[in-house]
Amino acid sequence: MIQATALLLPARVQERTRKIVRRTRGRRHGPITRLMSPGDLGRVLKPFVFLDLFDMEAASFSGFGLHPHSGIATLTHLFEGSVRYEDTTGATGVLPEGGVEWLKAGQGAWHGGGAGETGRTRGFQLWVALPPEHELGPAESVYQAPDEVARDGAARVLLGAHGGAASSLKAPAPMNYLAVRLTAGASWRYQSPAAHTVAWMAVGKGCLATPERVEAGELVMFEPANTAIDVFAEADTEFVLGSAVAHPHDLVTGYYSVHTSQASLDAGERRIEEVRARLQAAGRL
């Protein structure tokens, strides 16, 4: 099957495209598939340390109550549907299809959410490990409407830059994160900056050749190289792609937190407990 699929890309393209070196379907928990976590591929693909693919019906989704993070930033993007959100920076609202939720937890913040409007909701949530100069900084959140998300052709630029477009979000380190939608038969190319030795892709819908076949529900890791990633959509396909300079720090993990040292993790968890006490006093937990 893979050999037949590879023929969909010209031989000259197959020779120079970036090769896949690992792939996974992660672990599924109901409507959520955990494709990467800090205990597995996150240690190889850092600063990208966690990725969930979610696909759920609003009527059966009870939501996520307020829960804490520190030392990371989370980015949620929806390919379909909507979700409600709130966080302890004071933000609350509904994130629509095509929108972006960015929470830079830093020293510690809480957020949560649930079903938005009725119907199906599909998308990805990513965690990014923060470098030492950001991991204990103030929490901040940004919620972008679809028309506020930079675009270059088929790609929405969620972080970093691609082609003629650049995200208005300030990435904590050199990285790109794109959400791409292709119609069946379309080709697309991504050329990462030379220093981006980390690169991966996860497909949420459809299937593509790059030149090996990658199907819905899979995450693939590419070799560390400067060559482009070439994609051919075998069906209508949606995927996310990340590339970055490798995160040179250890991953020291708590239940909801990722830091570069035990001392930073301890500081983040103390801050989380301070916020917890305020939320309980206000009757929000």
Q: What is the pLDDT of residues 66-99, one digit of tens each?
A: 999 999 999 999 999 998 899 999 888 999 999 9
DSSP state of 95: E
Are 9 and 230 a contacting pair, CB within 8 Å?
yes
Are 169 and 158 a contacting pair, CB within 8 Å?
yes
Are 211 and 9 a contacting pair, CB within 8 Å?
yes
Taking CA 264 as the corner, what is the angle to CA 260 and CA 265, rounded to the nearest 5 degrees?
90
Alpha helices in the chain (DSSP H): 2-6, 11-16, 42-45, 132-135, 262-281
Average pLDDT, the chain: 92
Tell me the C-alpha distance between 88 and 128, whole Å: 19
Residue 283 in this model has a pLDDT that exceeds 70: yes
Tell me the C-alpha distance between 141 and 102, whole Å: 6
96 cis-preceded (ω within 30 degrees of 0): no
Q: Which of 113-127, 159-173, 255-269 has the lowest mean pLDDT?
A: 113-127
Residue 11 in this model has a pLDDT that exceeds 90: no
Are 75 and 242 a contacting pair, CB within 8 Å?
no
Residue 4 in this model has a pLDDT that exceeds 50: no
Residue 59 in this model has a pLDDT that exceeds 70: no
> Nearest-CA neighbor of 55 among 72, 80, 35, 74?
80
pLDDT at residue 101 in the model: 96
Are 5 and 212 a contacting pair, CB within 8 Å?
yes
Q: Is the pTM of this model over 0.85?
A: yes
Is the pLDDT higher at 239 or at 118? 239
> Nearest-CA neighbor of 278 among 72, 113, 110?
110
Tell me the C-alpha distance between 88 and 99, whole Å: 20
Place of tokens 């991966």: 200
**Domain covering 2-281 in this structure, CATH number:** 2.60.120.10
